[in-house]
A and B are shown apart, each in its own frame.
Chain A
Amino acid sequence: MSAERLLTSSLRELAAALSEGRTRAEALADAALERAQSLQERLNAFITLTSEAARAAARAADERRRGGNVSLLSGIPLAHKDLFCTRGVRTTAASRMLAEFVPPYDAFVVERLAQAGAVSIGKTNLDEFAMGSANEHSHFGPCRNPWDTSRIAGGSSGGSAAAVAAGIVPVATGTDTGGSVRQPAAMCGVTGIKPSYGRVSRYGIIAYASSLDQAGVIARSAEDCALALTAIEGFDPRDSTSLDRPAEDHAAALAATDGRLDGLRLGLPREFFAVEGLDADVRRAVEAAARTYESLGARLVDVSLPRAELAIPAYYVIAPAEASSNLARYDGVRYGYRAPDYADLDDMYRKTRAQGFGDEVKRRILVGTYVLSHGYYDAYYLQAQKLRRLIAEDYRQAFDSCDLILAPTAPTTAWRLGEKDQDPVQEYLQDIYTIGANLAGLPALSHPCGFDAAGLPIGCQLIGPYLAETRLLLAAHAFQEKTDWHRQLPPL
């Protein structure tokens, strides 16, 4: 089997091919790099490809394999969202502000995957500072959807989702502040999981909204997500919100099941299915997925999330407020861009930030500054935080009568590039199904469940109670044992 063919194999198949000597890590890295380069002009999935470092890491993985014990991820090519700091490799956050920034250290996630022997081939495209739902707000140009290159890949982790969907790498990292792993996974027809807040260290992830940001993974199946997620879980003292819990072996749990979901109660929030703007094809596919789950033994139950619609206004106060504070650090002094001409220090700040940030980042900083400013703090920021508690409470109550929540990941399939970039609110409304899990800190995943009339992938979302990652992955894995939506490849 050719190395390129192997790139659409499962991680276990790849690991077997490596351990049986049918391929080498270096051959896989070469194939991944070659495919990334050949698709770059059409997809723009990457901001930086690290060919030399990838080949060196792959050769080292091959060397270690000859020495004996290696982990399952050893020699597997992958890509990191360009929001994870990588030592010696520029990390841009898709912003002019950081276009030349070369971090002196690795993010926890990068460090852990490198320790496991995985081979990073480069840094993927995203919305600037992870702010967006289309991957159109990138200083390096939009990422395009492998299923239709006139359409968005989703965002903000669009490059990671597109790279996996296009068969460039079998797994890629992402971050999810309001749906940024799940939504692009849905748009590109791949599987993505955002774990519980605190599960994966945020150390070395360029901050957007710290009480919502969480790292995750995108892959071709729930099983591959399980393998990659286990590698990046675990306590890290360098993140003050890291949970002091060991990593869980999710994939072992998947291997131990019989594929049945008898007794699992799947809650369908009635408010989610009543959303105005839920596309008819998406609704049909997600309802069909629910019936597939039923055929596996799950029981469908009606649940209510009464404040579901208020998640959007709550999020678009809290996230910009935290962003305006987090992004205050970009002042042209310690690192990053500095405007070339200015009158004095204050003028240097204002021009540096005017030239270094793109429009969507400026919008969110301005909104955040407004809602935190004197006279508006109580009405907006404090009120949004109170709503956040009520929304989290709605989820807690829903989980009294179900084990997992099933919902669409997004109300529509991928839209055309430029279609929603005139009015930011149109893009924000697309986040209705995903942001609740971030506000409440819950784990959630998206897996493919069909196609619309135009042949574009549709995502089905599962949301779990706190720390129920294994349960989410078990359910999605059972679904994928029974269906082949996740095995479809885009016509590239």
Chain B
Amino acid sequence: MPAIDLDRIAELARIELTPDSAAAFRADLERVLALVDRLQAVDTTGVAPMSHPLDLPQRLREDAVTEPDQRDALLALAPAAENGLYLVPKVIE
């Protein structure tokens, strides 16, 4: 098993890790990956991946509006919203 680049994984997952918690997460991840590494030993040549229990095609529906307008109710859930818009920290200088 290759060494885990925990900083990169945490960056991809957008989770800040403190130096203390990073050590504990690294140890946990190593244990979990040691468990799941047992998969590598199985010969799966010619086996199609199963992404889902139902081998069904996605349903299609009429291209019509079915949802009621709940803009105000949904925006009310946001930590910060104004004038019908979600507020986030400045992205473009």
- Do A and B pair up? The answer is yes
Which residues of A have CB within 8 Å of B32? 316, 363, 367, 424-425, 428
A194 at the interface (CB under 8 A from B): no
Which residues of B have CB within 8 Å of A332? 79
Within 8 A of B (CB), among A357-405: 357, 359, 362-363, 365-367, 369-371, 373, 379-380, 382-390, 392
Contact A370 B4 (CB under 8 A): yes
Cβ of A214 to closest chain B Cβ, rounded Å: 9
A345 at the interface (CB under 8 A from B): yes
Contact B78 A386 (CB under 8 A): no
Within 8 A of B (CB), among A290-309: 307, 309
A104 at the interface (CB under 8 A from B): yes
CA A253 – CA B59 in complex, angstroms?
31
Contact B79 A313 (CB under 8 A): no
B12 at the interface (CB under 8 A from A): yes
CA A448 – CA B70 in complex, angstroms?
45
A488 at the interface (CB under 8 A from B): no
Size of A's binding interface in residues, CB under 8 A: 69
Known A-B contacts A334-B77, A348-B89, A369-B9; A316 and B35 likewise in contact (beta carbons under 8 Å)? yes
Q: Identify which of A211, A314, A351, A386 contacts B47 (C-beta below 8 A).
A: A386
Contact B54 A312 (CB under 8 A): no
Contact B73 A384 (CB under 8 A): no
Cβ of A258 to closest chain B Cβ, rounded Å: 34
Which residues of B have CB within 8 Å of A324? 13
Contact B13 A366 (CB under 8 A): yes
Q: Identify which of A331, A333, A334, A392 contacts B53 (C-beta below 8 A).
A: A392
Contact A383 B39 (CB under 8 A): yes
Within 8 A of B (CB), among A222-259: 237, 240-241, 243
CA A307 – CA B37 in complex, angstroms?
15
Contact B53 A313 (CB under 8 A): no
**Which chain B residue shows the least CB distance to A103?**
B77
Q: Chain B 4-34 against A: per-residue CB contact (8 Å), 1 yes, 0 no? A: 1010111011111100010001001101111
CA A265 – CA B89 in complex, angstroms?
63
Known A-B contacts A363-B32, A441-B54; A353 and B13 likewise in contact (beta carbons under 8 Å)? yes
Q: Which of the listed residues B14, B36, B40, B80 has the most CB atoms from chain A within 10 Å of its own CB? A: B36
CA A310 – CA B35 in complex, angstroms?
10
Which residues of A have CB within 8 Å of B28? 363, 423-424
Contact A197 B31 (CB under 8 A): no
Cβ of A431 to closest chain B Cβ, rounded Å: 11
Cβ of A207 to closest chain B Cβ, rounded Å: 14
Q: A-side interface residues toward B, CB under 8 Å? A: 101-102, 104, 197-198, 211, 237, 240-241, 243, 307, 309-310, 312-314, 316-317, 324, 328, 331-338, 342, 344-351, 353-354, 357, 359, 362-363, 365-367, 369-371, 373, 379-380, 382-390, 392, 423-425, 428, 439-441
The 9 closest A-B pairs by CB, nearest first: A441-B53, A385-B49, A338-B79, A389-B50, A335-B77, A386-B44, A350-B16, A354-B16, A197-B53
